[in-house]
Amino acid sequence: METNSPIRLTAPEIASLWTQYIFDTMSVCFFRYALEHIEDYEVKLIYQTSLEISKKHVEEITAFLLKENHPIPRGFTENDVNIHAPRLFQDPFYLNYIYIMTLQGMTGYALSVGNSIRSDLRNYYITCMSETMKLFEQSIDLMLSKGLFTRPPIITPPQSIDFVKDQSFLSGWFGDRRPLNAIEIGDISFNMLKMHLHAALKVGFIQVAQSKEVRQHFKRGLDIANKHIKIFESVFNEDHLNSPISWQSMITNSTSNTFTDKYMMYQIQLSAQLSLSYYGSALSVNARRDLGSKYLRLMLELLHFADDGANIMIKNGWLEQPPTASDRKSLAKENK
């Protein structure tokens, strides 16, 4: 079997492990804090399972990296969260948070499986995907049973199949715009769901951030998130389609020191990076030119925001560097 062979992990395989280690240590902090406050028994059960899974992942990734003689990332520790701080989020927010995290996790694990060549690593990520799918099932079923989930728009089935007959299918800037197609509706719904969570997360983080610079960055991020949501809603309103609900009212009035600024910056940076990838995916399959223009403009705004966030993290020594290829030029100079 490959697991007993000296085959080394490839760069993409190391990248997946490194990224997941950072994410899971972040999740452990959030889950531990959440479990101190969640009152709903069913939500608490999902978080207890999530915490156990994330802790197990951290142990398994550590073992993989140690076998490769790779240093273990610092990630996040108990010092990055005060689990005894007052409640910052309400139970419905926690349920929606785990739902969105499982959505993003399934996407990430699918990519990791595709990037993994060694059989032991493929099997590991397939197991991770299975665990995440079960959590997704539990979270969405619970949201539906509690009336917390906004179903995406429904469209009337066409009487027959059809083919695009002229270039007006692509138009959108001038004159009458055709109605959104099912693919475009699906992408906008998907992006609005996540943007609503990101907006609510920023509302909470603004209240508990310690650094003025970090607070200002979060406020800017909140303005961007709300702006994007309004743009998506306006597109839906043209076709009389329903939009997801906001979660910003699910934040308490707590201003106590809950998470470190480093921790919160990572969460917000991650949300910007994920939004960019989802916007890019939507752009690739959208057919209306006006929507393409909107996605490009929103992506550019997020790129600037993420770039400024990275600069804040670098300035404060918070941005952990992923494993990199050897700097051959520097090595060559050392031998002169």
Average of per-residue pLDDT values in the chain: 92
Number of domains within the chain: 2
Same domain, 225 and 137: no
Q: pLDDT at position 89, please?
A: 98
In this structure, is residue 170 part of a structural domain? no
Residue 55 has pLDDT above 90, yes or no: yes
Q: Are residues 108 and 218 in the same domain?
A: no
Rounded to an integer, the average pLDDT of 120-129 is: 96
**What radius of gyration do the chain's Cα atoms show?**
22
Across residues 29-50, what is the average pLDDT?
98
139 plus 219 within the same structural domain: no
| Claim to verify: residue 217 and residue 135 sit in the same structural domain | no
Q: Quick one: average pLDDT of 182-210?
A: 96
- CATH code at position 214: 1.20.1260.10
Nearest partner of 264 among 26, 21, 58, judged by Cα: 26
At residue 117, the pLDDT reads 94
Please determine, for residue 16, whether its predicted confidence score (pLDDT) is greater than 70.
yes
H or E element in which residue 260 lies: none
User: Which pLDDT band, with edges at 50, 70 and 90, does 184 fall under?
Assistant: very high
Q: What is the residue range of 115's domain? A: 9-145
21 and 100 housed in the same domain = yes
Measured CA to CA, the distance from residue 47 to residue 106 in angstroms comes to 17
Distances (CA, A) of 147 to 93, 141, 193: 13, 10, 15
Contact 247, 196 (CB under 8 A): yes
In a domain, 331, yes or no: no
225-274 residue pLDDT tens: 999 999 999 999 999 999 999 999 999 999 999 999 999 999 999 999 99
| Average of per-residue pLDDT across 36-55 | 98
Percentage of the chain exceeding pLDDT 90: 82
* 3 within some domain: no
Q: Is 330 domain-assigned?
A: no
How much is the pLDDT for 7? 85
Q: Tell me, yes or no, whether 192 and 272 share the same domain.
A: yes
Q: Does 135 share its domain with 186?
A: no
Regarding whether 191 and 94 lie in a shared domain, the answer is no
Same domain, 138 and 190: no
CA nearest to 13, candidates 122, 120, 108, 115: 115
More confident residue, 163 or 57: 57
Provide mean pLDDT across the span 113-118.
94
Which range (29-33, 169-173, 197-201) has the least confidence? 169-173
Residue from 258, 253, 269, 260 nearest 218 by CA? 269
Global pTM reads 0.91
- Residue 296 falls inside a structural domain: yes
**Is 31 found in the same domain as 115?**
yes
Same domain, 13 and 78: yes
DSSP state of 280: H
187 and 295 together in one domain: yes
User: Residue 26 CB: number of other CB atoms within 10 A?
Assistant: 20
